[in-house]
Amino acid sequence: MKQTERANFGSKLGIILATAGSAVGLGNVWRFPYMTGQNGGAAFILIYFACVLILAIPCMISEFIIGRRGQANAVRSFEKIGGRGWKIIGVMGVITGFLICSFYSVVSGWCLEYIYASVAGQLEGNPDYVRTYYNAFVSSPWKPLLCLVVFLLMTHLIIVRGVERGIEKASKLMMPVLFVLLIGIVAASCMLPGASNGISYMFKPDWQSVSSGVFLSALGQAFFSLSLGMGCLVTYASYFNRQTDLTKASIQIALIDSLIAILAGLMIFPAAFAVGVSPDSGPSLVFITLPNVFREAFAAVPAVSYVVAIMFYALLTLAALTSLISLHEVCTSYLHEELHISRHRGAIIVTAICLVLGVLCSLSLGAYPEIQLFGMSLFDLFDYVTSQYLMPIGGFLTCLLLGWFVPKPISRDEFTNGGTLRGQFFTIYFFLVRYVCPIAILFIFLHQFGVL
C-alpha cells in the first residue's frame, strides 16, 4: 500500500483525543479502582504511577516510533523496522487484541444494561438490593449476551466508517463531556458522610499490605490502561502525520489517562466506604457502589440523581466504545492489509470471532461457570493473561527492539521529526528503553515468580 493512500487523523487535537480515547475506558473507571482495592490501596497507586512514568511512557514513544515509521498495521510495522523475526510482537498483539476485545465487550455490555436500568428506575434501592440486581443480571443466561451483541455491532458500524470520520469524530465529542461529568460525581461522592475514610485509603500507603504480586499487577494495569504492548498504539501512530511531536503526545495521553483513573478512584472509594461496600470486592465494585452514590448523594433532588446516573452510564459506554474501536482496529487493519481483503470483510471476521469468544466469556461468569481453563473462568483468564503477561511481554520486546536492534539514527530521526524538534530528551528516552525498561520489566517478572 502506498503511503499517500493511507488514512490519517485529520488534526492535532484529533490525534490526541483519538489516542486518549483508546487509553481512557473501562481500564480507568472499572479496572483501576478494583485492582487498587484488591492490591491494598495507596501503595498500589504509587507503584502504578512509577510504572507509568518510568516504563509506560518510554514504551508508548517506542510504539509511536514504530507505527509512524512503518505506516502499516502492527505486524507489518514491526517487520519493517526490525526484520522478519520481530513481526512476532505484532502477531502477539493481534492475538491479544482478540482476547481483550472479547472480555472487554462483555463489561461494555453491562454499561448498556445499566443505562437501561437507570432509565427504567430499576437501580433505586439499598446496597443489598443493588448487589442482588448486579448478581442476577450477570448470571442471567441471555441478558448480558444481548447487551454484548448490541455493543459489538455498534463498534462494527463505527469501524467500517473508517478512521477519520468514525473514530476521530466520536472521540472529539465524547471525551470532554465524560471529564466534566466525572468531576461532578467526584464532588458528590466526596461529600457523602464517612467519605474521608475512602480518601485516606487512596492516599495513605500501607506498605505492609504490599504482597509480591502487586508489582506485576501495577505494571499490567499501566499497560492495560494506556493500551500498550499489543500493537494498538503502533496501529494508531501509523495514522499520525509527520508533524506530530511523539514525546509531547505520549506525555499528554499519560496525563489525561492518569487523571481520569484518579478521578475514578475518588468517585468510587469515598462512596464504597460511605455505603459499606468492601473496596476489594473485585469486578463488581463499580457496578455496586455507584448506584448508591447517585441515590444518596442527590437524595434531596431525585431528578438530578436520575439524570446523572443515566448520563454517567451513557458516557462510560462511550468511553468503552472508543477503546473497543481501537482494539478492533488492530485486528481489522491486520486482516485488511495482510490478507488483502476489504476493510469491510476484515471487520466482519473480527466482529464474528469476538462475538463467539465474548459469549463464552460472558457465560463463564454466570450461567455456565464450568467454562473454565486452568481453574479460572474464561473471562478472568483472558483478563489475567493479557494484562499480566502478554502486554508486559510485548512492551519488553518492543523496548529490546528499539534499544538494541534498530539503528539509533532511525529512532532519533523519528523522535525528532527528522531533526526539526530539539532532541535533548532523546538521550533520556534512549537510556530508558535500552536499560531501564527491559531490566525493570524482567525484574518484576522474576519477582513475581519468586526468583528474586
H or E segment and range at residue 12: helix 12-23
For the bound state, the minimum distance from the C-beta of residue 195 to ligand PHE, rounded and expressed in Å, comes to 25
Taking alpha carbons only, the member of 270, 273, 269, 306 closest to residue 291 is 306
Nearer to ligand PHE, 225 or 250 (CB): 225
Nearer to ligand PHE, 22 or 118 (CB): 22
Place of cell 518510554: 58
Written as one string, the DSSP assignment of 349-408 is HHHHHHHHHHHHHHHHHTT-TT-EETTEEHHHHHHHHIIIIIHHHHHHHHHHIIIIIS-H
Nearer to ligand PHE, 223 or 306 (CB): 223
Nearer to ligand PHE, 264 or 309 (CB): 264
For the bound state, the minimum distance from the C-beta of residue 69 to ligand PHE, rounded and expressed in Å, comes to 20
For residue 408, count other CB atoms closer than 10 A to its CB: 13
Alpha-carbon separation of residue 374 from 35, 378, 392 (angstroms): 21, 9, 21
For residue 409, count other CB atoms closer than 10 A to its CB: 8
Nearer to ligand PHE, 152 or 232 (CB): 232
For the bound state, the minimum distance from the C-beta of residue 261 to ligand PHE, rounded and expressed in Å, comes to 9
For the bound state, the minimum distance from the C-beta of residue 35 to ligand PHE, rounded and expressed in Å, comes to 11
Measured at CB, which residue is nearest to ligand PHE? 27
**Angle ∠(125,361,100) on CA atoms, nearest 5:** 105
| Burial tier of 75 (Cβ tally within 10 Å: 0-12, 13-18, 19+) | buried
For the bound state, the minimum distance from the C-beta of residue 335 to ligand PHE, rounded and expressed in Å, comes to 17
Residue 215, all three cell numbers: 508489582
In the complex, the residues that contact ligand PHE under the rule CB under 6 A are: 22-23, 25-28, 100, 224-225, 227, 230, 232, 323, 326-327
Nearer to ligand PHE, 28 or 416 (CB): 28
For the bound state, the minimum distance from the C-beta of residue 136 to ligand PHE, rounded and expressed in Å, comes to 26
